[in-house]
Structure 1
Amino acid sequence: MPVDATGSSTSATSATTTSRSTLASNFDTFLTLLTTQLRNQNPLDPLDTNQFTQQLVQFAGVEQQLQTNDTLGALLAATQTSQAATALGLVGKSVTADGDTTLLDDGAATWKLNAPSAASATVEIRNASGALVATRTVDLDYGDQDFTWDGKTTSGADAPEGLYSIVVTAKDAAGSTVSVTSEIAGTVDGVDLTTGTAVLTIGDLRVPLSSLKHIRTAAAN
């Protein structure tokens, strides 16, 4: 399927076609002037051929650049088409990706955390506006583990469903800072091509293809 939702490919093609048409017109005019001048030049004061040679070289350079632009445009279109096909093939798949934002759904939001060593951590949970809605203190083991938030705010109220992000601050037993990475997971339900780059969607969550870590067949209901 063509990937030109933003019109970028069409615009680039149109611009290149216009530039090539203008170049051809200018080159024809240049040759007409050149032959006219050569035909009517003063034999005692001939035209400087070096100037004409330089202009010919410039025309050739511009034409070569247009041909390069055509090639790059074709490669970009092929890459976008391939990327779109790959993304569409992931619809219905269960994926894990780098990220700190996930969806609170049915009273639960889960992140996958990775700690390089055992640590005590404070997890701040923020809404889509960046406002702090809850804080949790957890003990992390070495390696991968899940952190699930029950959707309860600091006041004990139920937070509305939507996108939430986390900030993890962790220290080991010696008090040294531990860098904890986070991942999100979910089942892909769509692909957004409006930006010209394929982005997976999991509900309202947007996941770039470049952030994917694992892909699995979604479990049957």
Structure 2
Amino acid sequence: MILDAISSAAGTSSAAKDRAGIADNFDTFLQILTTQLKNQNPLEPLDTNEFTAQLVQFSQVEQQIKQNENLEAITQLAAATAATNAVSFVGKRVSVSTTQSELTNGTANWQYSAAKDADAAKFTIRDSAGKVVWTGERDISKGDNNFTWDGRDAGGLKLTDGNYTLSVSAKDADGETVTVGIAAEAIIDGVDFSGEEPLLLAGDTTIPMSSVKRIHNQ
């Protein structure tokens, strides 16, 4: 078929190339068609069904290119919207679904949410290297609660400021495991646009926008 010959001669083009390629191929197709019609054997006329089928193929390819262009435009719009939304977080205090919190001036804060009351829940804090620096047990109540750490290890030694991680292991009175979700508050002071999606910055910590649970008034 004419279209097959043109396609193989032109080579494979990516979706990113503009429709000039299909337009050039279509012009070539019409030139070849015109030449063949002029020089056809009247006793063996060309099959018009073949030309019709190839015209349909050209139309389908052009529609696909238009759809790809529309998808690219939608993707660019979504990226611009995400960037605008990310910038609006700068200066805001947010609650983030994360076990990590920054120890600043001897204080680190977390929020945790228990599915139900629990007895003797074990709280464990680790430093950035994963080393356990503090553990403690306490009863916790169902719902949202706050936990503040004074930045001292098990021996009472004051630790340096930085990022620390909290984990909570809890069981109810019947010994059943209690699910505890952990979050931390952070002040967003910047946005990182270097990756595929904008990341919020809070000091040295990067935060995906999907991890933000709440935005608070300062």
Q: What TM-score bracket applies, with the shorter chain setting the length?
A: 0.7 to 0.9
In 2: Cα distance, 1:131 partner to 1:31 partner: 73
In 1: Cα distance, 2:103 partner to 2:62 partner: 55
- 1:23 corresponds to which residue? 22
- 1:52 corresponds to which residue? 51
Contact 2:96 2:186 in 1 (8 A): no
CA pair 125-21 structure 1, distance change in 2 beyond 3 A: farther
In 2: Cα distance, 1:202 partner to 1:93 partner: 10
Which range is displaced more, 111-120 or 163-172? 163-172
- 1:188 corresponds to which residue? 188
- 1:197 corresponds to which residue? 197
CA pair 214-39 structure 1, distance change in 2 beyond 3 A: same
In 2: Cα distance, 1:17 partner to 1:174 partner: 61
In 2: Cα distance, 1:204 partner to 1:86 partner: 21
CA pair 17-206 structure 1, distance change in 2 beyond 3 A: closer
Contact 2:127 2:133 in 1 (8 A): yes
Please say which structure displays the higher CA radius of gyration: 2
The number of equivalent residue pairs is 204
List aligned pairs for 1:112-131, cutoff 5 A. 112-119=111-118, 120-131=120-131
Partner SS state of residue 19, structure 2? helix
CA pair 132-26 structure 1, distance change in 2 beyond 3 A: farther
Shift of 1:195: 1.8
List aligned pairs for 1:66-105, cutoff 5 A. 66-105=65-104
The amino acid of 1:182's aligned partner reads I
In 1: Cα distance, 2:154 partner to 2:98 partner: 23
In 2: Cα distance, 1:40 partner to 1:155 partner: 99
The amino acid of 1:147's aligned partner reads F
CA pair 160-49 structure 1, distance change in 2 beyond 3 A: farther
Shift of 1:108: 2.6
TM-score (norm 1): 0.80
Can you give the 5+ residue segments of structure 2 that lack an aligned partner in the other structure?
A: 1-13
Establish whether residue 165 from structure 1 lines up as the match of residue 165 from structure 2. Answer: yes
Contact 1:92 1:217 in 2 (8 A): no
Can you give the 5+ residue segments of structure 1 that lack an aligned partner in the other structure?
A: 1-14
Percent identity between the aligned chains?
43
- 2:33 corresponds to which residue? 34
List aligned pairs for 1:134-149, cutoff 5 A. 134-149=134-149
- 2:217 corresponds to which residue? 217
> Could you say what the CA RMSD is over the residues aligned between the two structures, in angstroms?
2.3
- 1:106 corresponds to which residue? 105
The amino acid of 2:88's aligned partner reads G
